[in-house]
Amino acid sequence: MRVLMVAERLPPAIGGVERHMTGLVPSLASHGITLTLVAPKHDPRLPDEDSLADARVFRMPTRAGRARYPAAWRWWMDHRHLLLDADIIHFHGVYSLLHWTGPSLALSSHRPRFMTYHGYEMRIPVQRRARLYHDMAERLTRGSLCIGHFLVRWLGIHPTVVTYGACTAPELVPAAPEAHSAAFVGRLAPDTGLDIYLRGLGLLRNHHGIDIPLTVCGDGPWRATLEQLARDEGIRATFHGFIPDPGPIIESSTLVLTSGYLSMLETMVRRRPLFTVYHNPVKEDYLKLMPQASELFLTAPDPATFADQALRVIAQGPSAQMLEQAHCFAAAHTWEALAQHYLLLWGA
């Protein structure tokens, strides 16, 4: 089976969709799927054609402003064979369908189309246009895979499959160190909660005399602001920037602070206590609508609640039952299991 996948970004760009693709492609290829990937060229230094594992990669030219989408549509006219040769066309995100492919869909109107709805990033309150785009995407596709039940509630979509992504379980996980330390994994942006964690760690330090060093794995537009907040709170924080494999840092920590599905799975599969936070009702549902969420990890809406949870884990130790249930949940979310969702969706 020949499958064409269209996304807004592909590796070496950094993000959840990019990591999803990196893990998914080899698993699908092992089932005899011939994959071709298309995305806009997010960096002009990248080649027009490349590869990702066993998949061919094509990058569309990008332009500034409103010209970028018509430029992509002209590119499709010159590369229409990619659409015509595919047995299946699968889109990752509504913009890859409606903007980056757009009218070019007419070149392949007879090909089955499918969608993966990714990610948390959306404006709060949820915009009417977001609901309209997802409704249009449902009308233009035959079935879909959705990352997280919260999208069903907030965007009104009707996916064929709901999943939470995948992770790779390590062969051996070392015992947690005796000295307490924390690790944050995620983008340094307003919606990932590092400000809540930093203020909570500040409460532990200033009100309870508990000084927890913090390792930050991630980068983003809020880095300078969050580095200053760490200094203001007196936190011994080390900012490493993006780390391709945060597994060893997770394993060397006793408290893991992250609120994104992939890094949550990577934490749970390693049997480390997981602390999640939210700023708004959408992010709250992102976390709490995960099956058995309250039995898998701790969730807090503010620094004081997080500090109380962390203090309890430090004083009493993590719940062995919660760690085991979380491990079993994450261990079931393999890349092979995710590939099977796609194969079933396509009828392969």
In angstroms and rounded to an integer, the radius of gyration of the C-alpha atoms of the chain is: 21
Q: What is the pLDDT along the chain (348 residues), one digit of tens a residue?
A: 999 999 999 999 988 899 999 999 999 999 999 999 999 999 999 999 999 999 999 999 988 877 889 999 999 999 999 999 999 999 999 999 999 999 999 998 889 999 999 976 667 778 888 999 999 999 999 999 999 999 999 999 999 999 999 999 999 989 999 999 999 999 999 889 999 999 999 999 999 999 999 999 999 999 999 999 999 999 999 999 999 899 999 999 999 999 899 999 999 999 999 999 999 999 999 999 999 999 999 999 999 999 999 999 999 999 999 999 999 999 999 999 999 999 999 997
Q: Are 122 and 133 in contact (CB under 8 A)?
A: no
- Residue 342: burial class (beta carbons within 10 Å; 0-12, 13-18, 19+): buried
Q: Are 310 and 275 in contact, with CB atoms under 8 Å apart?
A: yes
CA distance 87 to 174: 45
What pLDDT is stored for residue 190 in this prediction? 86
pTM above 0.75, yes or no: yes
Q: Residue type for 173, please?
A: V
φ, ψ dihedrals at 26, nearest 5°: -65, -35
Asked whether 108 and 89 are in contact (CB, 8 A), the reply is: yes
| Residues 233 and 202: beta-carbon distance below 8 Å | yes
Q: Are strands 2-7 and 274-277 parallel, antiparallel or unpaired?
A: unpaired
Answer whether 159's CB lies under 8 Å from 224's CB. no
**Token pair listed for 43:** 């960096």
Helices (H), 45-127: 68-78, 80-85, 94-98
> Would you give the DSSP letter of residue 99?
T
Structural domains in the chain? 2-166+334-346 (3.40.50.2000), 182-331 (3.40.50.2000)
Instruction: Round to whole Å and give the CA distance between 148 and 76.
Output: 31
Best CA proximity match to 130, nearest among 154, 104, 102, 114: 154
Q: Are 339 and 284 in contact (CB under 8 A)?
A: no
ω into 125 cis (within 30 of 0): yes
Q: Under a CB-based contact definition with an 8 Å cutoff, are residues 95 and 101 in contact?
A: no
For 162, the token pair is: 């709901």
Burial of residue 347 (number of CB atoms within 10 Å: 0-12, 13-18, 19+) = exposed
Which letter does DSSP use for residue 333 in this model?
-
Number of Cβ atoms within 10 Å of the Cβ of 315: 9
Cβ atoms within 10 Å, residue 13: 16
End-to-end CA distance of the chain, in Å?
Answer: 8
pLDDT score recorded for residue 121: 62
The dihedral sign for the CA sequence 276, 280, 283, 289: positive
At residue 65, the pLDDT reads 78
CA distance 174 to 181: 15
